[in-house]
Amino acid sequence: MNEEFKDIFAKKNYSYSKQFEVSNLQNKVTKEEIIKCIKTVEDPEIPINLYDLGLIYSIDVDDENNIKIEMTLTNPNCPVADSMPESVGKSLENIKYIKSINIKLVWQPKWTKDLMSEDAKLALDIF
Protein backbone atom coordinates (compact mmCIF):
# COMPACT_ATOMS: atom_id res chain seq x y z
CA MET A 1 0.00 0.00 0.00
CA ASN A 2 1.43 3.38 -0.90
CA GLU A 3 2.10 6.06 1.72
CA GLU A 4 -0.90 8.18 0.67
CA PHE A 5 -3.32 5.30 1.40
CA LYS A 6 -1.58 4.55 4.69
CA ASP A 7 -2.12 8.15 5.79
CA ILE A 8 -5.80 8.10 4.83
CA PHE A 9 -6.49 4.77 6.56
CA ALA A 10 -4.49 5.63 9.66
CA LYS A 11 -6.88 8.52 10.36
CA LYS A 12 -9.98 6.34 10.25
CA ASN A 13 -11.14 3.68 12.67
CA TYR A 14 -11.83 0.57 10.67
CA SER A 15 -12.64 -1.72 13.55
CA TYR A 16 -15.48 -2.85 15.77
CA SER A 17 -15.29 -3.90 19.41
CA LYS A 18 -17.91 -4.87 21.94
CA GLN A 19 -17.80 -6.38 25.44
CA PHE A 20 -20.54 -8.54 26.95
CA GLU A 21 -21.57 -9.46 30.50
CA VAL A 22 -21.10 -13.23 30.58
CA SER A 23 -21.54 -15.42 33.63
CA ASN A 24 -21.26 -18.83 31.95
CA LEU A 25 -18.01 -19.54 30.16
CA GLN A 26 -18.60 -23.29 30.22
CA ASN A 27 -19.92 -23.36 26.67
CA LYS A 28 -17.29 -22.82 23.99
CA VAL A 29 -18.23 -20.73 20.97
CA THR A 30 -17.20 -22.55 17.80
CA LYS A 31 -15.78 -21.22 14.55
CA GLU A 32 -18.70 -22.89 12.77
CA GLU A 33 -21.18 -20.72 14.72
CA ILE A 34 -19.17 -17.62 13.86
CA ILE A 35 -18.91 -18.51 10.16
CA LYS A 36 -22.66 -19.16 10.00
CA CYS A 37 -23.29 -15.63 11.29
CA ILE A 38 -20.72 -14.00 9.02
CA LYS A 39 -22.34 -15.70 6.02
CA THR A 40 -25.45 -13.55 6.67
CA VAL A 41 -23.46 -10.39 5.82
CA GLU A 42 -23.29 -9.64 2.09
CA ASP A 43 -21.03 -7.29 0.22
CA PRO A 44 -23.17 -4.27 -0.76
CA GLU A 45 -21.89 -4.30 -4.35
CA ILE A 46 -21.52 -8.05 -4.94
CA PRO A 47 -24.44 -10.27 -3.85
CA ILE A 48 -22.15 -12.77 -2.09
CA ASN A 49 -21.50 -13.11 1.63
CA LEU A 50 -18.22 -11.81 3.02
CA TYR A 51 -16.97 -15.22 4.10
CA ASP A 52 -17.34 -16.81 0.66
CA LEU A 53 -15.81 -13.73 -0.95
CA GLY A 54 -12.66 -14.51 1.03
CA LEU A 55 -12.77 -11.26 2.97
CA ILE A 56 -12.36 -12.95 6.37
CA TYR A 57 -8.66 -13.57 6.89
CA SER A 58 -8.69 -14.99 10.42
CA ILE A 59 -11.13 -16.05 13.13
CA ASP A 60 -9.76 -16.68 16.61
CA VAL A 61 -11.77 -17.69 19.67
CA ASP A 62 -9.98 -18.05 22.99
CA ASP A 63 -11.01 -20.15 26.02
CA GLU A 64 -13.08 -17.27 27.41
CA ASN A 65 -15.04 -16.80 24.16
CA ASN A 66 -13.30 -13.61 23.11
CA ILE A 67 -13.65 -13.46 19.33
CA LYS A 68 -11.01 -11.75 17.19
CA ILE A 69 -11.46 -11.43 13.44
CA GLU A 70 -9.25 -9.86 10.80
CA MET A 71 -10.98 -9.02 7.57
CA THR A 72 -10.40 -7.01 4.43
CA LEU A 73 -12.42 -5.57 1.57
CA THR A 74 -12.26 -6.15 -2.16
CA ASN A 75 -11.08 -2.57 -2.64
CA PRO A 76 -9.57 -0.03 -0.20
CA ASN A 77 -11.74 2.67 -1.81
CA CYS A 78 -14.94 0.86 -0.82
CA PRO A 79 -17.49 3.53 0.21
CA VAL A 80 -18.73 1.38 3.12
CA ALA A 81 -15.29 0.47 4.49
CA ASP A 82 -16.01 2.05 7.85
CA SER A 83 -19.27 0.11 8.35
CA MET A 84 -18.27 -3.40 7.25
CA PRO A 85 -16.46 -4.40 10.48
CA GLU A 86 -19.53 -3.27 12.42
CA SER A 87 -21.82 -5.32 10.16
CA VAL A 88 -19.71 -8.41 10.81
CA GLY A 89 -19.61 -7.70 14.55
CA LYS A 90 -23.36 -7.17 14.80
CA SER A 91 -23.96 -10.46 12.97
CA LEU A 92 -22.21 -12.22 15.87
CA GLU A 93 -23.93 -10.48 18.77
CA ASN A 94 -26.69 -13.07 19.22
CA ILE A 95 -24.30 -15.98 19.73
CA LYS A 96 -24.65 -17.05 23.38
CA TYR A 97 -21.74 -16.88 25.80
CA ILE A 98 -19.57 -14.39 23.89
CA LYS A 99 -17.34 -12.33 26.18
CA SER A 100 -16.09 -9.90 23.52
CA ILE A 101 -15.95 -9.24 19.80
CA ASN A 102 -13.04 -7.48 18.12
CA ILE A 103 -13.14 -7.00 14.35
CA LYS A 104 -10.19 -5.37 12.62
CA LEU A 105 -10.00 -4.31 8.98
CA VAL A 106 -6.60 -5.03 7.45
CA TRP A 107 -5.17 -4.36 4.01
CA GLN A 108 -2.40 -6.95 3.86
CA PRO A 109 -2.34 -9.32 2.19
CA LYS A 110 -4.20 -7.66 -0.63
CA TRP A 111 -7.48 -9.36 -1.52
CA THR A 112 -7.64 -11.27 -4.82
CA LYS A 113 -10.30 -13.36 -6.51
CA ASP A 114 -8.25 -16.45 -5.64
CA LEU A 115 -9.46 -16.06 -2.04
CA MET A 116 -13.10 -16.63 -3.03
CA SER A 117 -14.80 -19.95 -2.29
CA GLU A 118 -15.74 -22.19 -5.21
CA ASP A 119 -19.42 -21.38 -4.53
CA ALA A 120 -18.74 -17.65 -4.83
CA LYS A 121 -16.75 -18.10 -8.02
CA LEU A 122 -19.56 -20.19 -9.48
CA ALA A 123 -22.21 -17.61 -8.47
CA LEU A 124 -20.20 -14.85 -10.14
CA ASP A 125 -19.27 -16.98 -13.15
CA ILE A 126 -15.54 -16.76 -12.41
CA PHE A 127 -13.42 -19.74 -13.36
Each residue of 16-49: pLDDT tens digit? 999 998 876 678 999 999 999 999 999 988 889 9
Each residue of 48-59: pLDDT tens digit? 999 999 999 999
Mutual angle of helices 84-92 and 31-38, in 10-degree steps: 130
Domain boundaries along the sequence of the chain: 3-123
Give the global pTM: 0.86
* φ/ψ (deg, to 5) at 31: -60, -35
Q: Which CATH superfamily is domain 3-123 in?
A: Fe-S cluster assembly (FSCA) (3.30.300.130)
Each residue of 63-85: pLDDT tens digit? 999 999 999 999 888 888 889 99
